[in-house]
Structure 1
Amino acid sequence: MVKIIRSGRMPEHRVTREQDFAPLARPWERTGSVDVEELATWAYRDQKVDRFATMGLHAIEIAASGMEAGGRSSDGCAAIADINHMGCRIDYSGRMVKDSVHRAAEIVAALLADIDHGRMVAFHARLGGRPEGWQQPAHWYRATVWVKPWQDAQVERTGRGTSPTFCSVIPTVTREELARRRLDYLNWWSALDALAWKLSLRSMGFTVRRPSAPQAPWEAAGEGDA
């Protein structure tokens, strides 16, 4: 005989409607508008919209979208294996708390999928940050070996005795690497701007502003090109 374990609330525990779903802070509620970078961060870091990308899709649809199928059928072979392993089956007819994602977050993810460098926006949105490393270094080169950091460096002689000394150095960052980092920042900003434009064509119920982040912050800092 297979026993049934009923899911849902625990005995003697009262559940209210407000407890069914965790409160979702919507960054546009106070002013009716939101910066596109803040909206992307909310969608990926707070709503974790990428975890719901395959919800409700058939395995064939998931594969066609270039995503990896996850989960399994509730009445498939894996469920039968679970019954054999536990000696019981789970009754999901009771009240359950389910994860949910806001529709605005789903729209953000769907639009980013068709924007060049949209993955870069999603990556930094998950972290709640921006591309870094675009600043011009205070020192282009540093000593290979320090005796005291940025004060005394280890020196070597070119020969024996009182031969001249020299200090070997290595670059802190090459100009090519700095240029690449700045290009990454530009691509990130352009993708954000494209997202704001596409969202402006949708009826969202609030206004999405263009990125407030500077397009080329090194120009504002007077650093010029790498």
Structure 2
Amino acid sequence: MLLEKNSTIVFAGDSVTDCGRTYEAEPAGWGSFGDGYVSLINAALVALYPEYRIKVINKGVNGDDILKLAARWQKDVVAFQPDYVSILIGVNDVWRHFDDAAFQHRADLVDEQLYQTTYQKLIDQTKAQAKQIFIMSPFMFDLNLQDPMRALVQRYAAIARELATKNDLIYIDIQAAVDHFLQSTSSYIVTADRVHPNLKGHMLVANKWLNAIDYDWRRC
């Protein structure tokens, strides 16, 4: 497995990462993991790799785009001196172009260039300290590439992939796992709104992430 013993990993992102975590909970303590993929990853690491003593910290926040994430990066990520950082951000940056914010003529919508430059700044602030950064692709539960929102998510995911390649980071293509699932099964099995996974959808995300670190499901 890629993770080293006695290491700390911070998961940063939006509501998909947050998934109902208790903000007042002690980091890596009861209630701090939420009910989504971070909790599933933590459970898998504890159950099959107990001697590794991996500390998992969930710092997802509902509604975050990359600008909001950047505003709290030092406090919520760097301050923990993590050995590993996993980032899942971008779907809200896209979504705001299609929800009520678009009709409000807001000036804080994140375009592709701002997404790229801000993401690079987060990487720059973290890369020297962390042993590895995992860049997770933003994703949607929709196979229709002609859908305007899915098409834009695809472009933001391409930016995330380019940044991972440029900075020699690990890119985890969650959209590929989602698309594979949707080839045979309807999206309503794993999501109610094409964006937020239910438990089965979070299992897709967790499985893809664990495979990226060479997690051995047959270890016991």
- Greater Cα radius of gyration, structure 1 or 2: 1
Q: TM-score, normalised by structure 2?
A: 0.25
Q: Pick the structure with more helix per residue.
A: 2
Q: TM-score, normalised by structure 1?
A: 0.24
